[in-house]
Amino acid sequence: MEYKNILFEVEANIATITFNRPRVLNAINLETVLELNKAIRECGEDENIKAVILTGAGDRAFVAGADVAYFKDKSPQEIMKFAEAGQNTLRLMETMEKPAIAAVNGFALGGGTEISMACDIRFASDRARFGQPEILLGLIPGWGGTQRLARLIGIGRAKELVMSGEQITAQRAYEIGLVNRVFPAEQLMEEAKKFAQKLAGMPSFAIKMAKCAINYGYDLSLENAMHLEIQCNAQCFSTQDVKEGVAAFLDKRKPNFTGK
């Protein structure tokens, strides 16, 4: 597929998806959502890709939200399709086998915050800003902002951000658990790539099982979630990587995981 609104690159087992609409601060329209969906599917299907980084073109924005011009004269049914396309795409990324890292290099507002939350890890530039400003348009978030946000930072703080539409700094996002780490702007991509490469070197089936246990266990009762963890843990013993990991530990050497 030829991409018009994103850049898609693969280097050393790492795929980088860059939102590439800098003139509108990488705002998202339906075409961009469909391209992102395709790119995520490509990442999931390509066995050579072990980790994915998402970032924004330019130095001002990751994704500054939905392209508001798209909303003009749209019917509720059309908006519903847009919301469903976004939610389906983010859920696809959230549940794919490969780990996804958001390298948030600037404004991550509305859909930008929602895209970052669907990633497994969030790294932010010290210039980044986060927020769910939909309320300022008379709307509420439609791509998981009322759900993932509460699960990440708690109901009270989620209500504060969603109901006020206020933006927060990268440092504040770190303090409340919305991002994992904050870096100087010039170091962000270097650090994201370094961490992606680290994950790419891990046993891929174990990464898959870790995502499964965490994602699907979160909403279960503790007892059922612990049973899920047992099943995911046991499945890892079907791989060569477990044998290699155990042997390397006993031999006091670095393991050579092959993803098998």
CB 78 within 8 A of CB 110: no
CB 43 within 8 A of CB 37: no
Return the residue matching tokens 């790419």.
200
Token duo for residue 63: 């994704």
CB 87 within 8 A of CB 143: yes
CA distance 109 to 98: 25
Can 134 be counted among the known catalytic residues?
yes
CA distance 57 to 6: 9
Do you know the residue count of the chain? Answer: 260
Residue among 42, 45, 134, 191 flagged as catalytic: 134
Strands 167-169 and 129-131: antiparallel
Strands 129-131 and 181-183: unpaired
Residue among 114, 166, 175, 186 flagged as catalytic: 114
CA distance 234 to 231: 5
Question: What residues are annotated to the active site?
Answer: 114, 134
